[in-house]
Amino acid sequence: MTRSYIMDEPDERNRLDAMAQGVIGRPLDRPEGPLKTSGTATYAAEYRMNGRIEGVLVTATIAKGEVTVLDESSVRDFPGVIAVISDDRMTARAAQGGAGKSPVRKVREVRYYGQPIALVVAETFEQARHAAKALRIEYREDAAALVDAQDDAIAFEQFEEPIIQGDLDKALNEAAHTVDVTYTTEGHNSAAMEPHASIADWDGKILTLHSSLQMLRFNRKELADALGIDPEQVRLVSPYVGGGFGSKLGISPEGVAAAVAAIRLKRPVRVVMLRQQVFQCVMRRSETRQRVRLAADAQGRLNGFGHEAWVTNLPGEEFAEPVLQASEFLYAGENRVLDLQLGRIHRVTAGSVRAPGEAVGMQVLEAAMDELAEAIGIDPVELRLRNIPEKHPSEGTPYSSRKLEECLRRGAERFGWDASPRKPCLRREDEWWVGTGMATATRVHNLNEAYARVTLRSDGTAEVASDMTDIGTGTYAILGQIAGEMLGLDPAVVTVRLGDTRFPPGSGSGGSWGACSTGSAVLEACEGVRAALAAKLGCEEAALKLKDGHAFSGADKVALSDLLGGVDVVQLGHFKPGKITEAFSAAMYGAFFAEVGVNAYSGEVRLRRFTGAFSLGRVLNAKTATSQCMGGMVWGIGSALTEGLTFDPRDGHIVNPDFAEYHIPVNLDVPHLDVLLVEERDPAGSPLQAKGVGELGICGAAGAIANAVYNASGVRVRSFPITPDKVL
Report how far apart, in Å, the C-alpha atoms of 724 and of each of 603, 642, 728 are: 4, 10, 6
As a whole number of angstroms, the distance between CA 692 and CA 514 comes to 8
Read off the DSSP letter of residue 161: P
Q: Which residues contact 384 (CB under 8 A, 6 or more apart)?
A: 331, 369, 404, 408, 440, 591
CB of 196 to ligand MOS, least distance (A): 14
- C-beta of 98 vs 393, nearer to ligand MOS: 98
141 is catalytic: no
- The candidate with the shortest Cα–Cα distance to 520, out of 617, 452, 619, is 452
CB of 197 to ligand MOS, least distance (A): 17
Q: Which stretch binds ligand MOS (CB under 6 A): 80-88, 129-137, 150-158, 241-249?
A: 241-249
As a whole number of angstroms, the distance between CA 475 and CA 515 comes to 6
CB of 354 to ligand MOS, least distance (A): 5
Q: Which stretch binds ligand MOS (CB under 6 A): 244-252, 379-387, 404-412, 641-649?
A: 244-252
Q: Considering only residues 200-229, where is the footprint of ligand MOS by CB under 6 A?
A: 214
Binding ligand MOS by CB under 6 A: which of 352, 473, 507, 639?
Answer: 352
Asked if residue 475 binds ligand MOS (CB under 6 A), the reply is no
CB of 478 to ligand MOS, least distance (A): 17
| Coil, helix or strand at residue 147 | coil
CB of 296 to ligand MOS, least distance (A): 33
- The site for ligand MOS, by CB under 6 A, has a size of 11
- C-beta of 285 vs 403, nearer to ligand MOS: 285
- C-beta of 340 vs 412, nearer to ligand MOS: 340
**Contact status, residue 506 vs residue 521, Cβ threshold 8 Å:** yes
Cα 247 → chain centroid: 9
Read off the DSSP letter of residue 334: S
CB of 142 to ligand MOS, least distance (A): 31
Binding ligand MOS by CB under 6 A: which of 98, 356, 437, 590?
Answer: 356
- C-beta of 187 vs 511, nearer to ligand MOS: 511
CB of 214 to ligand MOS, least distance (A): 6
Q: What is the residue type of 590?
A: G
Asked if residue 98 binds ligand MOS (CB under 6 A), the reply is no
Report how far apart, in Å, the C-alpha atoms of 105 and of each of 91, 116, 133, 498 are: 6, 11, 23, 32
- Strands 335-344 and 163-165 turn out to be antiparallel
As a whole number of angstroms, the distance between CA 363 and CA 718 comes to 11
CB of 465 to ligand MOS, least distance (A): 22
- C-beta of 393 vs 508, nearer to ligand MOS: 508
State the sign of the Cα–Cα–Cα–Cα dihedral 624, 629, 633, 638: positive
Q: What is the residue type of 620?
A: L
3-class SS shares of the chain: helix, strand, coil, % to 5: 30, 25, 45
As a whole number of angstroms, the distance between CA 697 and CA 675 comes to 10
Could you tell me which residues are beta bridge partners of residue 181? 292
- C-beta of 352 vs 481, nearer to ligand MOS: 352
Could you tell me which residues are beta bridge partners of residue 444? 587
To 5 degrees, how large is the angle CA 512–CA 321–CA 333? 90
Asked if residue 505 binds ligand MOS (CB under 6 A), the reply is no
Binding ligand MOS by CB under 6 A: which of 55, 98, 187, 244?
Answer: 244
Binding ligand MOS by CB under 6 A: which of 196, 289, 307, 354?
Answer: 354
Binding ligand MOS by CB under 6 A: which of 511, 597, 657, 685?
Answer: 511
Asked if residue 353 binds ligand MOS (CB under 6 A), the reply is yes
- C-beta of 189 vs 713, nearer to ligand MOS: 189
**Contact status, residue 563 vs residue 572, Cβ threshold 8 Å:** no
CB of 471 to ligand MOS, least distance (A): 8
| Coil, helix or strand at residue 540 | coil
Under the phi-then-psi rule, with left for phi > 0, alpha for psi from -120 to 50, and beta for the rest, what region is 185?
A: beta
- C-beta of 245 vs 432, nearer to ligand MOS: 245
Q: Which residues contact 234 (CB under 8 A, 6 or more apart)?
A: 206, 207, 209, 220, 223, 224, 227, 501
Q: Which stretch binds ligand MOS (CB under 6 A): 64-72, 352-360, 407-415, 656-664?
A: 352-360
Binding ligand MOS by CB under 6 A: which of 25, 65, 116, 246?
Answer: 246
Asked if residue 474 binds ligand MOS (CB under 6 A), the reply is no
Catalytic residue among 317, 366, 643, 695: 695
Residue 676, Cβ neighbours under 10 Å: how many? 20
- The candidate with the shortest Cα–Cα distance to 402, out of 328, 317, 311, 329, is 329
- C-beta of 322 vs 683, nearer to ligand MOS: 322
Q: Considering only residues 561-590, where is the footprint of ligand MOS by CB under 6 A?
A: none
CB of 97 to ligand MOS, least distance (A): 8
Strands (E), 325-456: 335-344, 428-429, 432-444, 450-456
For ligand MOS, which residue has the nearest CB? Answer: 246
Asked if residue 249 binds ligand MOS (CB under 6 A), the reply is yes
Q: Which stretch binds ligand MOS (CB under 6 A): 245-253, 307-315, 381-389, 671-679?
A: 245-253
- C-beta of 356 vs 460, nearer to ligand MOS: 356
For the CA atoms of the chain, what is the radius of gyration? 26
Just list the catalytic residues: 695
- Applying CB under 6 A, the residues found at the interface with ligand MOS are 214, 244-246, 249, 352-354, 356, 510-511
